[in-house]
Amino acid sequence: MSYIGYMPYLKPGSTLLSAVVIHNRMFQSSSAGQSLKAILGRENQRGVLGAGASEATRRLFGLSVPVRQVLEQHTLFGVYSRTMPASVANALASRLESGKGDAVHAAFRGHRRRRIPRLATTCLRSCDGCIQEDMDHQGFASWRVLHLLPSIGHCPYHGTELRDEGGISNNARRRWPLTLPGEHKSRKTNAKASTLPISDGYCAYLHLWKETFGGDLIGIAPDLWMLVMDAVVRRFGTLARACEVIEATIRQLWDVSVGQVAAALDIADGELFVNAELDQRVQASYVASRLVIVGALDHLQMSPPRRQSPPHLVPLELSQAKPFGSWLSPRTQAELRRYVMDANFPPALYRALAGDVDVYSIDASLRIDRLLVRRFATTLPGELLETMSKEQTWSNSSWLMKEMRRREVAWSRGNS
């Protein structure tokens, strides 16, 4: 097995696939599979979402940098982890480090009964501006992580239309030709986002992907985003009014309807995505809808938190989460909310669980599969359930009473 050792060519933002090509040329491997195995540990590994990062770190950098850094700078984990709870992102990183390549899909498989958006393109894409920039600075071009986002049609760095090159699937007809950007026949990308007009909204959206990837836009993390949505609704007085203003701003900035934006960016909630976000019914790891709303809030001078907010943006004033209309005590509500969000469920679930409802009602109102709600209920501490049962009245058909009865039956059988 060949080792490259420390590799200064792999600058932040370049994919691990770039190193695979370089390895092939340095050691004259006979196939793409051999080079993929040499860098990522397996012939069918692509490393786009983070699988194989642990092997790549050892073989490319000799562990001189942490695996987590490689995941954040050279794979799409560096995008999607920014909108996950810290506990979920850390667990996902650990699974990727241990070689579990399906971990990212598992994190997205989600809780809502709807289609999961595609996480990465099925082919590599290039940008003439990035190719020229790489050639000027390092003498060869490299594949860029952000070009693999399905919900963009233009380069976030240069604004130029992306071009599709070699496929990176396991389908033989779309096999990657083991090249660097610009070395293979290309065509204009067929991404739906490329049909959108080049508007102020779309340009801001592209820039926000860079902020997300760089870790600057911290306000889209679940705990902060919940406070952002609360603050926005508070500013406008009602959720309906906040939705009306934000949707009008999106139409103004993007020059198309909200429904057209959702369709082009493959946002699963369609034209209702603004309402779904404000109502906090969206799982944390859906990024595109969140960034469209951030662009509108920036325009309205109500910007979510950044690590360093630029002078032209006015940060939105946030307040701590406040108890809502439930008989549960504020302390119990806060504890329930923490468990819900640490499990990567949307915040609206904790409000539903605080009410005297069954899993069918939750499924109908939030589109969270009742089987997943039942499974989640089994993970809640007994002390929390006991406290909740005492602080308000619950019907026998409620999710809480059914879970407590299930535990009683399980305990009795275990002690019989």
Does residue 318 sit within a domain? no
How many domains are there within the chain?
A: 4
Evaluate whether residue 204 is within a structural domain: yes
Half-sphere exposure for 124 (CA within 13 Å, toward CB) = 30
Give the range among 3-12, 83-92, 128-137 with minimum mean pLDDT: 3-12
* Gap between the Cα atoms of 384 and 54, Å rounded: 38
Compute CA distances 399 → 199, 336, 407, 411, whole Å: 47, 14, 12, 18
* The model scores a pTM over 0.75: yes
Q: At what angle do helices 399-414 and 382-391 cross, to 10 degrees?
A: 130
Confidence band for 19, pLDDT divided at 50, 70 and 90: confident
Q: What is the pLDDT of residues 349-367, one digit of tens each?
A: 999 999 999 999 999 988 8
Shared-domain flag, residues 251 and 230 = yes
Decide if 323 contacts 354 (C-beta within 8 A): no
Q: With respect to residue 359, please indicate whether it lies within any of the assigned structural domains.
A: yes
Query: What's the pLDDT at 187?
Result: 87
Does residue 287 come out as left (phi exceeding 0), alpha (psi in the -120 to 50 range) or beta?
Answer: alpha
Using alpha carbons, select from 402, 264, 269, 407 the residue that is nearest to residue 348.
269
Domain boundary among 162, 195, 228: 195
Residue 366: partners with Cβ closer than 8 Å, 6 or more residues away: 112, 281, 346, 348, 349, 352
* Mean per-residue pLDDT, 226-245: 96
Closest CA to 9 of 138, 157, 178: 138
Query: 191 φ, ψ to 5°?
Result: -60, 140
On the 0-12 / 13-18 / 19+ scale of CB atoms within 10 A, 272 is middle
pLDDT at residue 29, as a whole number: 63
Whole-angstrom distance, CA of residue 3 vs CA of residue 297: 48
**Res 144: pLDDT:** 95
Does the residue 370 lie in any domain?
A: yes
The answer to whether the beta carbons of residues 401 and 389 sit under 8 Å apart is yes
According to the model, what pLDDT value does residue 369 have?
87
pLDDT of residue 113: 60
Domain hosting 21: range is 1-116
Helix H or strand E encompassing 124: strand 123-126
Instruction: State pLDDT tens for residues 270-296.
Output: 999 999 999 998 887 679 999 999 999
pLDDT of 7 above 70: no
With cut-offs at 50, 70 and 90, classify the pLDDT of residue 171.
low
> Residue 316 gets which letter from DSSP?
P
Alpha carbons 31 and 240: distance in angstroms, whole number: 57
Q: What is the mean pLDDT of the chain?
A: 88
> For residues 186, 24, 150 and 111, what is the CA-based torsion angle, rounded to 10 degrees?
160
CA-wise closest residue to 377 among 334, 409, 339, 320: 339
- pLDDT at site 289: 94
Under 8 Å between Cβ of 228 and 302: no
- When pLDDT is averaged across residues 375-380 and rounded to a whole number, the result is 95
Q: Which of 65, 91, 116 represents a domain boundary (last residue)?
A: 116
Q: Is the pLDDT of residue 128 over 70?
A: yes
The two three-digit tokens of residue 392, written as one number: 């308000």
pLDDT of residue 101: 66
Q: Tell me the mean pLDDT in the region 321-326.
A: 74
Measured between alpha carbons, how far is residue 380 from residues 131, 356, 405, 410 in Å?
A: 51, 17, 14, 15
pLDDT of residue 160 exceeding 50, the answer is: yes
Instruction: Give residue 1's pLDDT.
Output: 38
pLDDT of residue 51: 87
**pLDDT score, position 340:** 93
- Amino acid present at 313: L
Return the ∠ at Cα 375 (arms to 373 and 377), rounded to 5°.
70
176 and 253 assigned to the same domain: no
Same domain, 133 and 239: no
pLDDT band at 175 (very low <50, low <70, confident <90, very high): low
Using the predicted structure, report yes or no on whether residue 323 has a pLDDT greater than 90: no
Averaged pLDDT for residues 310-334? 87
Residue 395 tokens read as: 């019907």
Query: pLDDT tens digit string along 38-67?
Result: 888 887 778 888 888 888 888 888 767 899
pLDDT band of residue 114 (cuts 50, 70, 90) is low
Burial of 234 (0-12, 13-18, 19+ CB in 10 A): middle
Query: Are residues 162 and 204 part of one domain?
Result: no
- 21 and 63 together in one domain: yes
* Same-domain status, 87 and 131: no
